[in-house]
Amino acid sequence: MGALYTVAKREFAGYFATPIAAIFLVIFLAVSAAFTFFVGYFLERGNADLQVFFNFHPWLYLFFAPALSMRLWAEERRQGTIELFLTLPIPLWAAVLGKFLAAWLFLGLALSLTFPMWMTVNILGQPDNGVILASYLASFLMAGGYLAIGSCLSAATKNQVIAFVLTVTVAFIFTAGGAGFLTDLISEFVGKAVLDTIADISILPHFNQIVKGVIAFKDLVYFIALIAAWLLAAMAVIDYKKAG
């Protein structure tokens, strides 16, 4: 566990070594607010809740998470420091998990800085704060899922742009699979069993369920399994590249 802490601490501190962290946080908060107030018509709705705020999160993370994860391993490979990094007395699992946790905590920091939205709805009315808290949990878990996908695909290439495009593509497939417009489109060609299977492996249905305030065990297991599967895949990719 000491090695895991060391890697996570090193990687997290690395985000603040340059102005990139501040720029990322400012852009994330600005885009979140813009979508909520101008696209989602937050004030015009007249409801003291954050539903419209969280409705945009899957699509925001679709780009922000890959932008964060694309450098996790691709940068190490581009600079040729991955060999040196992996020769340190650090288990591979600690290296992969440490880098992932640092990125997840950083994105969690960005999410936590949206707390003025929570304060705003409490000033404007009497929202169900339990539902809002569950929605923050859902958003954080979903961010972890996207970052885990990005970690694996970043390990597969030394080009950050390619890692970004691949992550956006795969994350979109996992997201759009549970979107209403897609299920309505393919419902005429496939049966209910297929639609249910697509929903089970898609991010949106599980995210939307928790956002409603219903924290079901199966939805928590889904996100944990999604993160674990892609991190294990990242370990396999790095191990293969190292052996090669």
**Can you tell me the distance from the alpha carbon of 196 to that of 199, in angstroms, rounded to the nearest whole number?**
5
Longest Cα–Cα distance of the chain, Å, equals 60
Name the domain count of the chain.
1
Range of the domain at 165: 2-243
pLDDT of residue 37: 82
Q: Give the residue-averaged pLDDT of 173-179.
A: 75
> What confidence score (pLDDT) does residue 233 get?
95
Q: Per-residue pLDDT tens for 94-112? A: 989 999 999 999 999 999 9
Lowest mean pLDDT across 76-80, 130-134, 230-234: 76-80
Q: What is the pLDDT of residue 168?
A: 95
Amino acid 20: pLDDT: 86
- CA dist 36 and 117 (Å) reads 10
pLDDT confidence of residue 187: 57
More confident residue, 162 or 88: 162
pTM for the model stands at: 0.90
**Distance of CA 214 to CAs 76, 117, 147, Å?**
40, 21, 24
With bands split at pLDDT 50, 70 and 90, how would you rate the model's confidence at 194? Answer: low
Average pLDDT of the residues in 215-233: 95
What are the tens digits of pLDDT across the range 27-71? 999 999 898 888 877 767 767 788 889 999 999 999 999 999 998
Say whether pLDDT at 218 is over 60.
Answer: yes
Which residue intervals of the chain are DSSP H helices?
A: 2-15, 20-34, 42-45, 51-55, 57-69, 74-79, 82-87, 92-112, 115-124, 129-155, 160-176, 180-186, 192-201, 203-211, 217-243
Q: What percent of the chain has pLDDT over 90?
A: 48
Share of the chain above pLDDT 70, in %: 84
Average pLDDT (157-183) is 82
The pLDDT of residue 164 is 95
In the prediction, which pLDDT does 179 show? Answer: 61
Average pLDDT value for the chain: 86
pLDDT above 90: residue 85: no
